[in-house]
Amino acid sequence: MSPQTTKPKSTFHYQSSLPRLPIPKLEKTLERWLISIKPFATDKELEEAKSLAQDFLKPDGLGQKLQERLINYDKTQAESWLDKFWLDNAYLVWRDPSLINVNWGTVTQDHPSKPQSPPSNFRGFTRYQIARASHLIHHLTKLHESIINEEFPITKSGKDESSAICMNQYKKVFGVTRIPEWGVDRLEASFPCFSTHIAVLVQGQIFKLNVYKILENGERIVNSIEDIEYQLTQLIYDKSITKYVDFTHVTGSHRDLWTQFRQSLIQHDPTNLKSLQSIESALFSLSLDDYVVPSNPTSQYQNAFHGTGYNRWFDKSLNFIIDASGSLGLNGEHSPIDALVPTQLLDHCASQPFNWTKDTSNEFSSESLKSDLESWKTRGLIKDIHKPQHLEFKIPENLHDLIKSGQEQINKLISNSDSKVIIYNDYGSEFIKKSAKLPVDGYLQMVQQLNYYQLFGKLASVYETASIRKFKLGRTEAIRAASQDAKNFIQFANNLLKKNSDSISAQDYQKAYNLLSKACLTHRTNTIEASNGNGVDRHLLALRLLLRKNESHQIFQHPTFINSCKWDLSTSQLFSSKNLGGTGFGAVQPQGVGENYYHRPKEFTFTVECKRDNKTLTGGIKQWEEGLIKCLKLVKNIALKGQVEKSKL
């Protein structure tokens, strides 16, 4: 007899049994906060902060009242006290442009089947581009089906059943759009989402493309890859459309400008509302760019992260981008979901078999695409295939000034953004685990913080993302990664950076390694605490939001509190994949650095962003990269030469 197979549990099987996010004890949060500010505070500031914390903690003090309000508020929330606080105040109330400030970008590695790129001055579309897009659309739609049918595998942090984590973010992947509103934006989302179309952007024109066949009995069948190839080819060469002025960049501009523009469009003509609703209800958006991005990770990443600012819908939770050479990227709107979930889906799609076998002799000729259309017609492949619909917009003259203002805003944002994908392959995580005998994340954090210190001349206030998805509706907590132990290592190692490697003594290496080990151990402890819901920042955010009119406490105005929330170095680690070429986001502070990183056994990838008008980092990302490499080499030497062999008994 064959062994009985166990049916996999449904995607959201464990949701109801997940624990709620705990409310930390107030005294513990303040204790952790005081520890976190010690590396930055003067003795006087630290004593003032301790005194304020004691006053805040008094039995009849404001802190206890706020804590009691939070406990009562938690009882009114179905699943989490943090969810709405975080969504609204981390994202939806902010009026700054989403482009670069909120949205993140990622790019995949070039597929092995990718043909030779067109010349740099090429303008148009290619067979390979359309084939890659069709493959992506088909597999994304299949993933959407698996999620709404609850067949998508449950993510676990370990091997046993108790390690299942919250899958709620998968409900907010497809068919989700941020809608600009005065004061605070809103999310257009529902689950399950039964939309049957996507939005395709081509040269600033937007099309509705159905990705399902609906049978008479109501059954939904995902269009085949070949069906979608035909649809996209038909879309590109539809000469019957009346083009409107490209306003897509306005979606990435200041939220109030975009709100004014959108509401004016709706008021001008009901056709505009209908078209907007088609975009906003689409499963996702896809941008087909009519230009060639240089074949290097940084250029490809920048096209995904911001591009020219045009031919994108920055409010869609997922906006995929494919240029004329077939390079694939994703721009993600951050408010409904964190980058980990969409990048896992993109990684899955990039892993699916894709064999490019077509004759490439006329690869970049528009005639080749036209001949494909004729071939499809001859073979009768157009039956029951939905013709893409060009969405109509009627844009009054009085909105052209807003379009121009939006253009000026995004041009300024993009020109001031300096970013790079840094791939370092002298060593990787294998060395850190086996030779350095240290935790990989702590090690890489110390490298990045050391680099900041040597370049800026001060310790960075560091944000690192920790996952709290072991709890219902869990998203992230902040790891305050700049600890006193990190400071001790960084200051000592910075002195070693100034020396010639030959002049560093064995004792110096040993001391540096001991300090590094202690800093990594502290970092691991802080990471575990944050992941267990015992961080500092989310709890203090909630308490501040529960202040009533005319209520205040000096602790919230003290320099140590304010400065500890200004993230000089904003960091996040992503899973390693052979398919990903770089993932990143913008610096949080105008004079700061944003850095996403992941590791492979033999290499590290850092995707870094800073502003070109950064007054300290005048050499921009090139200066950061040079410093980073210097720090990676030094810390490797510390790990190699600083360990004292234990005597064998």
Q: Are residues 501 and 629 in the same domain?
A: yes
Asked whether the CA dihedral 8, 11, 16, 20 is positive or negative, the reply is: positive
Distance CA 43, CA 307 (A): 47
Distance CA 482, CA 523 (A): 9
Query: Is residue 20 in some structural domain?
Result: no
Position 405: which residue type?
Answer: S
Query: Is residue 167 in some structural domain?
Result: no
Cis peptide before 118 (omega within 30 of 0): no
Q: Which residues of the chain have pLDDT under 70?
A: 1-6, 358-369, 376-384, 645-649
573: domain CATH number? Answer: 3.30.559.10
266: domain CATH number? Answer: 3.30.559.70
Is the separation of the CB atoms in 588 and 465 below 8 Å? no
Residue 245 DSSP symbol: -
pLDDT of residue 28: 98
Q: Which of 144, 334, 400, 553 is catalytic?
A: 334
Is the separation of the CB atoms in 303 and 271 below 8 Å? no
Strand pairing report for 186-188 and 593-600: unpaired
Is the separation of the CB atoms in 74 and 571 below 8 Å? no
SS3 569: strand
Query: Is residue 209 in some structural domain?
Result: yes
pLDDT of residue 648: 41
Distance CA 345, CA 311 (A): 23
Distance set, CA 321 to CA 35, 111, 118, 290, 534 (Å)? 44, 15, 17, 11, 38
Q: Are residues 405 and 430 in the same domain?
A: no
Residue 625, class by beta-carbon neighbours within 10 Å (0-12 exposed, 13-18 middle, 19+ buried)? Answer: middle
Tally Cβ neighbours within 10 Å of residue 17: 10
Q: Are residues 323 and 461 in the same domain?
A: no
Query: Is residue 48 in some structural domain?
Result: no
Q: Are residues 250 and 335 in the same domain?
A: yes
> From its phi and psi, is residue 159 left (phi > 0), alpha (psi between -120 and 50) or beta?
alpha
Name the CA dihedral angle for 308, 313, 318, 319, rounded to a multiple of 10 degrees.
-40
Q: What is the pLDDT of residues 268-317, one digit of tens each?
A: 999 999 999 999 999 999 999 999 999 999 999 999 999 999 999 999 99
Residue 474, class by beta-carbon neighbours within 10 Å (0-12 exposed, 13-18 middle, 19+ buried)? Answer: buried
Q: Are residues 424 and 387 in the same domain?
A: no
Strand segments, DSSP code E, in 525-592 are 569-573, 580-584
Query: Is residue 77 in some structural domain?
Result: no
Distance CA 358, CA 233 (A): 15
Structure tokens at 230: 């035909």
Picking from 393, 415, 437, the residue at the C-terminal end of a domain is 415
pLDDT of residue 649: 38
Distance CA 381, CA 362 (A): 22
Q: Are residues 634 and 523 in the same domain?
A: yes
Q: Are residues 523 and 483 in the same domain?
A: yes
Distance CA 433, CA 491 (A): 24
Q: Are residues 200 and 282 in the same domain?
A: yes
Q: Are residues 458 and 429 in the same domain?
A: yes
For the question of whether the overall pTM of this predicted structure is more than 0.85, the answer is yes
Mention every residue, 6+ apart, whose C-beta is less than 8 A from residue 540: 29, 33
Q: Are residues 423 and 564 in the same domain?
A: yes
Distance CA 629, CA 518 (A): 23
Distance set, CA 105 to CA 112, 300, 342, 467, 642 (Å)? 22, 10, 11, 19, 38
SS3 312: coil
Picking from 415, 436, 467, the residue at the C-terminal end of a domain is 415
Q: Hunting for tokens 């003594």 — which residue is that? A: 505
pLDDT of residue 518: 99
pLDDT of residue 158: 84
Query: Is residue 370 in some structural domain?
Result: yes
pLDDT of residue 358: 67
Distance CA 614, CA 591 (A): 5
Q: Hunting for tokens 């994949």 — which residue is that? A: 577
Q: Which of 289, 252, 262 is nearest to 408 (CA)?
A: 252
pLDDT of residue 3: 53
Q: Confirm whether 306 is a catalytic residue.
A: no
Q: Are residues 511 and 486 in the same domain?
A: yes
Q: Which structural domain range is residue 425 located in?
A: 418-532+553-641
Query: Is residue 604 in some structural domain?
Result: yes
What residues pair up with 478 in beta bridges, in sequence order?
465
pLDDT of residue 501: 86
Picking from 365, 389, 415, the residue at the C-terminal end of a domain is 415
Distance CA 337, CA 90 (A): 12
Query: Is residue 28 in some structural domain?
Result: no
Mention every residue, 6+ apart, whose C-beta is less than 8 A from residue 164: 13, 14, 18, 154, 155, 156
Q: What is the pLDDT of residues 503-555, one digit of tens each?
A: 999 999 999 999 999 999 999 999 999 999 999 999 999 999 999 999 999 99
Domains in the chain, number: 2
Q: Are residues 410 and 441 in the same domain?
A: no
